[in-house]
Structure 1
């Protein structure tokens, strides 16, 4: 299976180089994988990632707010924009990491969160990235032996989420429930069962490409 992925990557390496950043510059990737708190916390543990921003993408309303998005009437997904150093990691590596930290088979949402805003997607920034994402989706379907529900398409406008959502998983501000954001997130993640469910799907390959995870 890994040979197939390496072959796909090798076949498209020239295209990747064309669309990549110059030496010393960073590049970006956008992933929707359910709750953006979780995707952000996971990618913050990925080697080569410089920063992450939680936000909304794919809807038909400009300047969406969390309150509107969760009504499931705007068409947006919760997503994370990942800024990374191409000298340390690659778009192909981040794609592989992404699919191994979600349930790519569920068309309803992720884990304990259901609705369009929690469904999964890869939003490519270039045609070359789109080819890589489509190839990765095909490979994942072959690995799991089932259709993959994750959408792959070119990225529309990404709208950053409200400040209080950013880096939620490590925030120390107290919430109305008496917990810090970090404590609230830890309780949410455990209660939602993300780690357990990802491990059930991927086994020892769960969370591949991360240096630990939240």
Structure 2
């Protein structure tokens, strides 16, 4: 695998070449890279303060980010939690990371994290050496307002922010994990998400967890 980042027609371009493994190709596609002439490309229009850093970071970090597949999720999440705690960043864990911190048997292939909307760019600045995609204000055209991506300790972290998902407007449950207090999406909400996606293995795993917590089978 060869990862590159460069400016092309005033657009930041990320490119991954020489990917032979089909599973790895699918992982890169899932990160919203488009296949063009045997390579995978993502382009960003506009000016970003972190552009110069991404030109250095992406070629250095991309291979680990795509091949790691969740092996270092706990290390990355501990690192993220430690820095955020030190700087007063309020954040919320979503996606399959919620199942992982609750002890369910899976490796999240990335970590999906919301930060409080007015701390989005502050969070970027704290992790500037790990930024691999621009931190963007997407306006009202997407499901969430802000999006950026890190590669932290080899793990892909998708950072999202939207006032609708701040703690005072969205349900979260406090969980104790690895010495930290985390705000996570409720288990039953995660179950509904997996039912909508029809991911039967995830549904069975979460239902088994809920059954253990309640002391009997779900009804």
**Greater relative CO, 1 or 2 (CA 8 Å, sep 6+):** 1
TM over 0.5: no
Larger radius of gyration: 2
